[in-house]
Structure 1
Amino acid sequence: MKIHTLITDSDELAQLCDRLAKSDFVAVDTEFMRENTYWPELCLVQIANTEEAAAIDPLASGLDMTPLYELLTDNHDVLKIFHAGGQDVEIIFNATGKTPSPIFDTQIAMMAISQSEQIGYSNLVESWLGLTIDKGARFTDWSRRPLTERQIEYAIGDVTHLSKIFPKILKRLIKTGRGMWLNQEMEKLADPDNYRNDPTLAWRRIKAAGRNPQMLGRLKAIAEWREMEAQGKNIPRGRIARDETLADLASHPPKQQSDLAKVRGLSQGWRDNDIGKRLMNTIAKAQPLGDDEMPPRQPRGAPLGKEGALVADLLKLLLKIRAREIDVAARLLTRSDELEMLASGVRKNLPILEGWRYEVFGKDALELVEGRLGFAVEKGRLKMTRVSEDEEIFASAGSDDAVDEETDESGDDSES
């Protein structure tokens, strides 16, 4: 494989992108810094196909990144391969207003062919290539120039390894017939709505108890205010105030600015400084959340209670068994809250009861809830077992007999 150490020239980058545009796929990775800024600072882009690889320096003076961004977002004939690519996609979206397309994430793909839910890159490389990654450069300051040869070699290795691993994963997916399982997950990763930074919607990311319109209206206003403050200063939003502090302010709004000194997460200076004044003005102007903005209610069945909780536990046990049997990550099949809804009686709008998830796991989960599936121990291993119609009838009859006996005993007591 031909390695281009570091591209800083626009013509060289354009020529590279022209060659890569003829590939079936390219592996992509980025290095960035965001610890001290609101917007992540792109410091390096690595890209490779099966024949060549390069590191591209977006901080190089005069470098035109347009050919690279067009390859990633506008060329739909080339598949873009990432590993745990959410932040990489976010950075590309911030730069272009578009997400890479089409897209494939090896971390997500591993959930369909193994029980790994969030396999790290170094473990991925070791499991597929038998190589140990040098982690020494992982926490380097990528914004400093010049970059060392070791830094560049480490960075390019991320995509050269990925370009070798992807065909192996693809082959396994084809062999198992599980490629379609990933379609929805990859669509989520590439959905631009996940990366649009609309300050008016920032409140939706904050956990707040209750559905009170006044409280949620304050939360929306405060969250938008925090985004604008952080953007204006280009500092992480958490440096202004943490999520739990915003939720507390929305639930228990201070009556006067001096009360801000009593709020957990705010310093004493907020009682009389300008940012505290701006916060109080925001709270004072906040309007109740409109009906059209209220978060949708989650589908709910009957309250779980003790028996329902036991059924949910059985479903979680069934999920572990099935995930182990077919060697798939349990999280790809379903979530705990979905199992609890199934146990409480919900039967509509549950992904577990639709498509491939129903065939692979949902059908058995439903049969367990409805008493047609049980557990057995065979050679020391827990397994699923079907309940025969005779056993169902016997169990039902036994239950009726027990009721009759209780009735008889009750009758005898009343007569005595």
Structure 2
Amino acid sequence: MGSAAAAPTPAHDQFTVRFVERDEDVVGALDALDAEVVGVDVERADADRYFRRAALVQIGVAGHCLLLDGVTLHALPDVADFLDRRRLTVLHAVENDLEPLAAKGVVPRHMADTAVAAALLGLPTGLGSLLAEVLGVSLSVDKEAYQRADWEARPLSEGMAAYAAGDVVHLPALWRELAARLEATGRRHWYDQELAATIERAGEDSRDWTRVKGAGRLAPHQRAVLRAVWQERERLAREHDIAPNRLLHDDVLRSIATEPPRTEAQLVRRSQRRRNLLRRHAGELFAAVERGMAAPPVPRETAGRRWTDGDRNVYDELRRARAEVAEDLGIDAGVLCPSRPLWRAVAGEPDDGAELCALVELRPWQTEVLAEPLWEAYVKARRNGGRG
């Protein structure tokens, strides 16, 4: 498929595709999408970068899709205006697309997320499987291959164009069916709460040094080194728009924390790949190692609390009760309530089910279905297991 912004070009038996790369062509192309509900998706090319960016923005309705070139179209004010005039923008897994869209000046006011809806209905959350089960639509492209494609390369191949369009042209119809099922099952208010929470999380900076795998098992003095080097890696990654793991992989971070290098050269040798990139920033990272070694130890998060066998028994009973409710509802237990927050209920020693759910920070719909069974499980486990 060529890169010229010309008339719609057939790209698939079920829909046509138009590629748009010039600002002056955007409004006219959008006018062809005469619908109150549109599907939107983003193809990114930022695997080696710190900031998420859109290489391609797809806007689709049944039978037609626009592919807006994120390489040449640095901002999309006309798209923002277009979506503001629409009742609904349908995405699949909004948390992946909101940041790159916002970087183009696009912040949809009214959104639906088919992945959130699917999870609450006990359906597959992968788009291909979901389309097949709900609409009987089969995407006839190699999804894994195109997920690894270079979406900044031009011109796009016809296969890439078909893949990108296929992700959005069916979203309006998919959402209509999922919305009907949410209403029929009485779960629409569940969905509204989950969507709001998902959008809120997408806007938060969730990066934190304690999320490095194995950080919780390090000794306090090692955690101080890990924190200092992680923070320096984060600063450098943001400043130079480099993916943090490309600069210094988390596995290497842990190695540095457990056995700090004594020289810059030793630090560079810890990494088996991309040593040239690391070498350019070795001085700053080694200085962070020295700061971490001189810093006060950082206690483990569980310091001050020794978990007893009774505590673990309560936790296991809470998980079992949650799993039983999830099975009855036909949804994944992790969707109903993640496991890890249940520890807060064990440590908080609640007085009733409402307080237990508040400690776990459950949303109202989760409290609605979990307060009673979790409290019964908690009381039973405490009675039988005690506090050790």
Name the TM tier (shorter chain): 0.7 to 0.9
Cross-structure match for 1:114? 122
Per-residue deviation at 1:260? 2.7
Give the Cα separation in 2 of the matches to 1:142 and 1:274: 28
Per-residue deviation, 1:179? 1.7
Runs of 5+ unmatched residues, structure 2 = 1-13
Mapped contact 2:49–2:243 kept (Cα < 8 A): yes
Distance of aligned partners of 1:11 and 1:210 in 2 relative to their CA distance in 1, 3 Å threshold: same
| Native 8 Å contact 1:101 1:190 kept in 2 | no
**Structure 1 position 26 matched with structure 2 position 35:** no
CA distance in 2, matches of 1:268, 1:80: 40
Calculate percent identity across the aligned residue pairs: 23
Match status 1:162 vs 2:168:
no
Contact in 2 for aligned 1:43/1:57 (Cα 8 Å): yes
Rounded Cα–Cα distance in structure 1 between residues aligned with 2:254 and 2:82: 42
219 and 188 in structure 1: CA distance in 2 versus 1, 3 angstrom threshold: farther
Cα deviation 1:65-116 (Å, max 9, x = unaligned): 22124545xx2863321112322222123343x7543332211111211165
Instruction: Kindly indicate whether the alpha-carbon contact (under 8 Å) linking 1:115 and 1:324 is maintained by their aligned counterparts in 2.
Output: no
| Aligned position for 1:7 | 20
Question: Which of 129, 140, 143 is the aligned partner of 1:123?
Answer: 129
**1:239 deviation in Å?**
2.1
How far off is 1:345 after superposition? 5.9
> How far 1:167 sits from its partner (Å)?
0.4
Q: Equivalents in 1 of 2:323, 2:99: separation in Å?
A: 33
- SS of residue in 1 equivalent to 2:216: coil
* Amino acid across the alignment from 1:10: D
Q: 1:209 to 1:312 in 2, by over 3 A?
A: closer
**For residue 91 of structure 2, what is the amino acid of its counterpart?**
F
| 8 A Cα contact 2:41 2:167, kept in partner | yes
For residues 313-332 of structure 1, the aligned pairs below 5 Å read: 313-332=316-335
Q: C-alpha offsets along residues 177-208 of structure 1, whole Å, 9 cap, x if unaligned?
A: 212213343223323774559xxx65354342
- Alpha carbons of structure 1 residues 152 and 238: separation in structure 2 relative to 1, 3 Å: same
1:409 corresponds in structure 2 to: none
* SS in structure 1 of the partner of residue 109 of structure 2: coil
* Cα displacement (A) at 1:295: 10
For normalisation by structure 1, the TM-score amounts to 0.71
Residue 289 and residue 354 in structure 1: after superposition, are their counterparts in 2 closer, same or farther (change >3 A)? farther
Deviates more, 1:153-162 or 1:311-320: 311-320
Counterpart code for 2:139: I
Does the Cα contact within 8 Å between 1:93 and 1:192 map onto a contact in 2?
A: no
Bigger-Rg structure (1/2): 1
Q: 1:192 to 1:102 in 2, by over 3 A?
A: farther
Check 1:77–1:279 CA distance in 2 against 1; reply closer, same or farther (3 A cut). same
Match of residue 5 from structure 2: none
Partner of 1:238: 245
Aligned-residue offset at 1:210 = 6.8
Q: Are 1:185 and 2:189 matched, yes or no? A: no
Q: CA deviation at 1:298?
A: 7.6
Indicate the larger mover: 35-44 or 153-162: 35-44
What amino acid is aligned across from residue 173 of structure 1 in structure 2? L
> Do 2:95 and 2:202's aligned partners in 1 also have CA atoms closer than 8 Å?
no
Q: 1:135 maps to what in 2?
A: 141
**SS of equivalent to 1:337:** coil
What TM-score does the superposition give when structure 2 sets the normalisation length? 0.75
Q: How many residues align?
A: 358
Partner Cα separation in structure 2 for residue 146 and residue 51 of structure 1:
22
1:32 to partner: Cα distance: 1.9
Tell me if structure 1 keeps the 8 A contact 2:48–2:246: no
**Using a 3 Å threshold, how does the CA distance of structure 1 residues 4 and 67 change in structure 2: closer, same or farther?**
same
List aligned pairs for 1:42-191, cutoff 5 A: 42-49=54-61, 52-60=64-72, 65-71=76-82, 75=84, 78-96=87-105, 99-114=107-122, 116=124, 119-136=125-142, 138=146, 139-191=148-200
1:278 corresponds to which of 278, 284, 300: 284
Q: Deviations over 1:200-221 (max 9, x none)?
A: x653543423798875554444
SS at match of 2:97: helix
- Corresponding residue for 1:382? none
8 Å CA contact 1:76, 1:102 repeated in 2: no
Matched with 1:337 is 340
What's the C-alpha RMSD, in Å, of the aligned pairs?
4.0
Q: Return the letter of the residue paired with 2:342.
A: L
Which amino acid is the alignment partner of residue 78 of structure 2? Answer: P
Amino acid at match of 1:82: L
- Partner SS, residue 303 of structure 1: coil
Say whether the 8 Å CA contact 1:27–1:80 is kept in structure 2.
yes
Range 87-96 or range 346-355, more displaced = 346-355
Q: 1:303–1:285: structure 2 CA closer, same or farther, 3 Å change rule?
A: closer
Counterpart of 1:225 in structure 2 is: 232
Cα distance change, pair 182–350 in 1 and its aligned pair in 2 (3 A)? farther
C-alpha deviation, 1:258, in angstroms: 5.0
Q: Work out whether 1:249 is the aligned partner of 2:262.
A: no
Counterpart CA distance in 1 for 2:265 and 2:26 is: 56
C-alpha spacing 1:71/1:301, structure 2 compared with 1 (3 Å) = farther
**SS of corresponding position for 2:89:** strand
